[in-house]
């Protein structure tokens, strides 16, 4: 573990969080994942209270909004520790997509929306979802969408279909991306973000999408949702009309740091499981699985890739803090595809070392493989980030 970006706060927080996870969370995680989230949520409140006492509630926010006021590099390090478990960030009220939604609502929501939604979300009493991806169009080109919000008097009338709307099951509001300016010359100026309470007539959660045979429930789910003549006030729009993608860009830089450090936490846990299995699994008298050179190679490669990814992400977090997200956009693209790919490789190696056990639900590895294979797809596919990065590099070379 690098101490390059360690601060007195992270030096204090991380061991305290790790001790709590070891004693109360990690040993129960597999059982919890078998329960419907609605039943689990109330039980988790006790652990949420414990995280508040540890000082990591509302992890990404300032003291003004009930958070610890950590820097981005500090948040990243704490996020890695919490990322070892599926429930880590949820217990700190810092889970996606609520964390990013809260940032948008705090900055752009009107007073009514702030009162109805922001205070309960900061208290962990309410969840939200974010509707952007559509089933009929390529998610790798997000400016193309069929969902529309047509102005009618003081209201928008929203029609469309979204899917992979994470956490919609049980959410009280949805921030939806919809076309409000279809004639805008630039495609990125056509969409707006609009807050839709999920009890609004015409909003329908059609289903939880089955992911490799598992539907999920509550926050641990991805839904398909439809909007049929959904009527909401124009004042529910966040930011100016046509600024949906501008707002989306604001949350991308820090959001990628959060995702990547969570993935590193998952990779680190998978790595430790792989090492323990290799060291303790006997193949024949006196011959351990870890004695095989191929397994040793996997262990060495995984150690190097995790450590390199960690330093890359912390370097990017520091660049965002000191130079801004726009100046660090190359690094932001690099960490997205580098860390997502690393996670997939490490989890896959850990499964292979576990043999048949690895593909069962008797370890956390199958859940990580099932849920986090999509890390290379959501929030911009690996291919999209690589292409964008390469184009910027070539553009600089030509100039």
pLDDT digits over 43-77, tens only?
Answer: 999 999 999 999 999 999 999 999 999 999 999 99
Average pLDDT, stretch 159-175? 97
Q: What is the mean pLDDT of residues 147-152?
A: 97
Instruction: Give the distance, in angstroms, between the CA of residue 261 and the centroid of all CA atoms in the same chain.
Output: 10
Q: Is-cis flag, bond preceding 97, omega within 30?
A: yes
pLDDT bin (cut points 50, 70, 90) of residue 140 is confident
With bands split at pLDDT 50, 70 and 90, how would you rate the model's confidence at 392?
very high
Q: Are 220 and 267 members of one domain?
A: no
Alpha carbons 96 and 75: distance in angstroms, whole number: 15
Q: What are all long-range contacts of 313-316, with beta carbons under 8 Å and residues at least 24 apart?
A: 313/76, 313/257, 313/260, 313/261, 313/264, 313/339, 314/2, 314/4, 314/5, 314/73, 314/76, 314/77, 316/256, 316/257
Assess whether 29 and 59 both reside in one domain: yes
How much is the pLDDT for 260?
A: 96
Task: Write down which residue in 82, 99, 116 finishes a domain.
Answer: 99
Query: Is residue 223 over pLDDT 90?
Result: yes
Structure tokens at 292: 């095989």
Q: Are 353 and 274 in contact (CB under 8 A)?
A: yes
What is the pLDDT at residue 143?
87
Asked whether residue 162 is domain-assigned, the answer is yes
Which residues in 55-85 are b (16+ Cβ under 10 Å) and which e? bbbbbbbeeeeebbebebbbbbbbbbbbbbb
What is the percent of the chain where pLDDT is above 90?
A: 92
**Mean pLDDT to the nearest integer, 247-252:** 83
Q: Provide the CA 209 distance to its chain's centre, in angstroms.
A: 17
| Number of domains observed in the structure of the chain | 3
Q: What is the pLDDT of residue 360?
A: 96
Res 3 pLDDT > 80: no
**Is the same domain home to 314 and 289?**
yes
Of 179, 210, 242, which closes a domain?
242
pLDDT digit string, tens, across residues 366-383: 999 999 999 999 888 999
The whole-chain average pLDDT of the chain stands at 95
Show the tokens assigned to 303: 């150690």
| In a shared domain, residues 383 and 312 | yes
Place of tokens 């129960």: 28
pLDDT (mean) for 258-285: 96
Asked if residue 357 and residue 265 are part of one domain, the reply reads yes
Average pLDDT over residues 2-16: 89
Name the residue range of residue 326's domain.
245-398
Say what the pTM is: 0.93
Write the DSSP assignment of 309-363 as a string of letters: HHHHHHHHHHHHHHH-TTTTHHHHHHHHHHHHHHHHHHHHHHHHHHGGGGGSTTS
CATH of the domain at 352: 1.20.140.10
The CATH number covering residue 188 comes to: 2.40.110.10
- Rounded to whole angstroms, how far apart are CA atoms 238 and 396? 34
The closest alpha carbon to 200, from 241, 229, 161, 235, belongs to: 229
Is residue 393, in this structure, part of any structural domain at all? Answer: yes
State how far Cα 110 lies from the chain centre.
Answer: 26
pLDDT at 137: 87
**pLDDT attached to residue 2:** 58
Euclidean distance between CA atoms 112 and 237, whole angstroms? 12
Q: Hey, which residues does 131 pair with through a beta bridge?
A: 176
Name residues whose C-beta falls within 8 Å of residue 390's C-beta, 6 or more positions apart in sequence: none
Looking at the fold, whether 289 and 393 belong to one and the same domain comes out as yes
The pLDDT, as a whole number, for residue 4 is: 73
Q: Confidence class of residue 1 from pLDDT cuts 50, 70 and 90?
A: low
User: 122 in a domain, yes or no?
Assistant: no
User: Does 380 lie in the same domain as 251?
Assistant: yes
| Same-domain pairing of 208 and 279 | no
Are the CB atoms for 90 and 44 separated by under 8 Å? Answer: yes
Q: Is residue 349 part of a domain?
A: yes
Residue 106 falls inside a structural domain: no
User: What's the count of helices (H) and strands (E) in the chain, helices before strands?
Assistant: 14, 11
* 274 and 191 within one domain: no
Look at residue 110 and tell me if it is in a domain.
no
253 inside domain: yes
What is the mean pLDDT of the segment spanning 209-225?
Answer: 95
Domain boundary among 242, 272, 300: 242
| Per-residue model confidence (pLDDT) at position 184 | 93
Residue with tokens 């030096």: 11
Closest CA to 95 of 104, 84, 86: 86
How far apart CA 262 and CA 394 sit, in angstroms, is 31
Span 129-135, average pLDDT: 95
83: tokens are 């990322």
pLDDT band per the 50, 70, 90 thresholds, residue 288: very high
Q: Based on the domain organization, do 274 and 349 belong to the same domain? A: yes
Tell how strand 220-233 and strand 237-238 pair up. unpaired
In a domain, residue 113? The reply is no
Together in a domain, 256 and 384: yes
- 274 plus 351 within the same structural domain: yes
Q: What is the mean pLDDT of residues 143-148?
A: 93
């Amino acid at each position: 573990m690098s101490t390059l970006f360690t601060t007195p706060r992270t030096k204090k927080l991380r061991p305290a969080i790790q001790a709590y996870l070891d004693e109360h969370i990690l040993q129960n995680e597999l059982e919890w994942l078998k329960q419907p989230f609605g039943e689990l949520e109330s039980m988790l409140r006790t652990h949420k209270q414990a995280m508040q006492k540890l000082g990591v509630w509302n992890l990404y926010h300032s003291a003004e909004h009930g958070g610890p006021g950590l820097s981005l590099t500090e948040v990243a390090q704490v996020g890695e520790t919490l990322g070892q478990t599926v429930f880590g960030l949820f217990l700190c009220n810092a889970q996606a997509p609520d964390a990013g939604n809260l940032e948008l609502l705090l900055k752009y929501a009107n007073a009514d929306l702030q009162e109805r939604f922001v205070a309960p979300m900061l208290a962990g009493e309410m969840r939200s979802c974010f509707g952007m991806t559509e089933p009929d169009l390529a998610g790798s080109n997000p400016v193309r969408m069929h969902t529309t919000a047509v102005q009618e008097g003081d209201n928008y009338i929203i029609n469309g279909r979204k899917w992979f709307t994470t956490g919609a099951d049980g959410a009280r509001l949805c921030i939806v991306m919809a076309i409000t300016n279809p004639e805008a010359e630039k495609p990125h100026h056509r969409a707006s973000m609009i807050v839709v309470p999920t009890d609004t007539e015409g909003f329908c959660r059609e289903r939880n999408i089955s992911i490799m045979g598992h539907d999920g429930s509550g926050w641990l789910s991805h839904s398909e949702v439809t909007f049929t003549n959904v009527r909401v006030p124009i004042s529910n729009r966040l930011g100016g009309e046509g600024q949906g993608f501008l707002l989306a860009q604001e949350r991308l830089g820090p959001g990628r740091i959060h995702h990547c450090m969570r993935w590193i936490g998952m990779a680190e846990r998978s790595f430790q499981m792989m090492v323990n299995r290799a060291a303790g699994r006997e193949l024949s008298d006196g011959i351990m699985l870890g004695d095989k050179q191929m397994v040793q190679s996997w262990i060495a490669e995984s150690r190097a890739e995790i450590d390199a990814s960690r330093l890359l992400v912390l370097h990017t977090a520091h660049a965002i803090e000191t130079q801004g997200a726009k100046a660090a956009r190359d690094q932001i693209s690099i960490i997205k595809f580098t860390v997502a790919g690393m996670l997939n490789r490490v989890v896959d190696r850990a499964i292979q070392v576990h043999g048949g056990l690895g593909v069962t639900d008797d370890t956390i590895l199958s859940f990580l493989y099932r849920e986090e294979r999509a890390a290379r797809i959501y929030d911009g596919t690996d291919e999209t980030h690589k292409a964008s990065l390469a184009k910027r590099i070539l553009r600089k070379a030509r100039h």
